[in-house]
Structure 1
């Protein structure tokens, strides 16, 4: 049995679907029962669990041969970092007690750094806690997800300006499509062909690096509207993020993350990671996001 946490999300769905295509039994773990319908339709067993509740996590992984872990940032919480660490503690305690043979954790570029990387520091904490588990561990560190630009699209399409915290605008950075992460995660869960060190660290990004200028140019091409990238001045980051609805703690996580990005600290860990590359282009991801933006604008 392969247990996939966060199975209703972009990455989890692709992992569950790939494992089902390979003929494997999959238990798809979701937060709310109504999220399970599409997963049940492709043959998944559905489990409902709250990552803050070690008991429900333990039930979800009972009898698992392999577990794919996802601990998302609780964006709506007043202190997302504290809430995520609590989630990690509870879920890792459950996995430690059950001791499934294989565990794959979805992590981030830069997770080797213990501090000064904002949100990515929390994935360092996740990896550190998981190292206490007696299992074959894989840390799949993904570059910035292309889907993250979704929250900027309404503004960019309405005003023709794509705000960017990536400085300078022509700086190339790694990015990846969520579907490529999900498919690779399934491949790694199925890979028992060679002896592995534990933890096995694998990085994944797209086949080419992009800049904020590239993102704006691509968005203009797929939308048919003029879009230009614009640096958000460093001194205005916190104000802009708070105006976007983020609390002070969440805004600090974002500003610390992009400070680290712009300093070149969010990248592949030299000499440690196996490197993999996704094939989904940025244009395909942005084009798929546009109908959702149009539907929101129409309401």
Structure 2
């Protein structure tokens, strides 16, 4: 039997991926959930999944956590600026534990993207290649849910702000990315997947979707990148995160989060969840 492990298994993407593995027929006994806080993994344990505590900053915990694992999904860390050493720890541990295949959640077109976010992802991809690890690269596009985190406030204001100009992107639901990761791990073929939805939306169209679903007028207001950073800071968002969001919006204006790839639909075997459905669920 093949044993699968998922890092960050109580996080949003990791938890959904564990559930997707089970939904695709993997026995719970063959799934290892690597978590930082065991108390948050009670539902996974109750589902029969093996729960092990492992920290990206603790190499020995990773080695112990990956014992007996055949295929690993490395969900990229969320600490920008620390991802490379943390990912290195996971990859080192995977090799020492004898993991045969590593899936990594990267970013769309990481090898040619102009996004600042791509830097650490590409470095991790290169590290996997340099180590000779059999790898599935899951280059995820933007999550549809990135646009719904502040949705009630956007609807109340009637304005979606950003710095994407007239650029388009192809967002997809987080659950679809998780299902794709599960499918790719089960398939086990080392390759690169460019993953994104099949809708190519401008921010004006996103605002129009908010308006349609909520029944409240919402328009898009485009800002210069630095003005957008300032607006986010004024809303209480820390400067590094605000700068990342603004940089990503500028990337949208350059097409960095758009693609014609059908890899997501091909992997999950269905049409990706529509952006309208994600907004409807969020409301």
CA deviations on 1:254-294 (whole Å, 9 max, x unpaired) are 333333332223445x9xx773335211122122223xxxx
Question: Which residue does 1:15 correspond to in 2?
Answer: 17
Question: Which residue does 2:173 correspond to in 1?
Answer: 177
Question: Which residue does 1:162 correspond to in 2?
Answer: 160
Aligned residues: CA RMSD: 2.2
CA deviations on 1:112-137 (whole Å, 9 max, x unpaired) are 138x4211222111211222334321
Name which of structure 1's ranges 141-150 and 91-100 shifts more when overlaid on structure 2.
Answer: 91-100
Asked if structure 1 preserves the Cα contact closer than 8 Å seen for 2:169 and 2:202, the reply is yes
Asked if structure 1 preserves the Cα contact closer than 8 Å seen for 2:161 and 2:228, the reply is no
Q: Distance in 2 between matches of 1:95 and 1:133?
A: 11
1:275 corresponds to 2:263: yes
Aligned pairs for 1:52-63 within 5 A: 52-63=57-68
Counterpart of 2:50 (choices 42, 45, 50) is 45
Q: Distance in 2 between matches of 1:152 and 1:13?
A: 22
**Distance change in 2, residues 1:240/1:205 (3 Å):** same
CA deviations on 1:146-187 (whole Å, 9 max, x unpaired) are 11113331320221111122212xx32111111111111111
Aligned pairs for 1:188-207 within 5 A: 188-192=184-188, 196=189, 198=190, 200-207=191-198
1:87 corresponds to 2:68: no
Q: Distance in 2 between matches of 1:11 and 1:148?
A: 13
1:191 positional shift? 0.9
**Distance change in 2, residues 1:184/1:157 (3 Å):** same
Aligned pairs for 1:92-171 within 5 A: 92-113=91-112, 116-168=114-166, 171=167
Q: Distance in 2 between matches of 1:274 and 1:286?
A: 22
- Which structure 1 residue ranges, 4+ long, deviate > 6 Å from structure 2? none
1:99 positional shift? 3.4
Q: Distance in 1 between matches of 2:280 and 2:77?
A: 25
Normalising by structure 2, we get a TM-score of: 0.87
Normalising by structure 1, we get a TM-score of: 0.83
Asked if structure 2 preserves the Cα contact closer than 8 Å seen for 1:155 and 1:162, the reply is no
Q: Distance in 1 between matches of 2:108 and 2:200?
A: 14
Asked if structure 2 preserves the Cα contact closer than 8 Å seen for 1:57 and 1:91, the reply is yes
Secondary structure (helix, strand or coil) at the match of 1:151 reads coil
Asked if structure 2 preserves the Cα contact closer than 8 Å seen for 1:113 and 1:124, the reply is no
Secondary structure (helix, strand or coil) at the match of 1:176 reads coil
1:210 corresponds to 2:201: yes
Q: Distance in 2 between matches of 1:213 and 1:265?
A: 18
Q: Distance in 1 between matches of 2:246 and 2:103?
A: 28
Q: Distance in 2 between matches of 1:235 and 1:127?
A: 30
| Alignment: residue pair count | 273
Q: Distance in 1 between matches of 2:244 and 2:26?
A: 40
Structure 2, unpaired ranges of 5+:
266-270
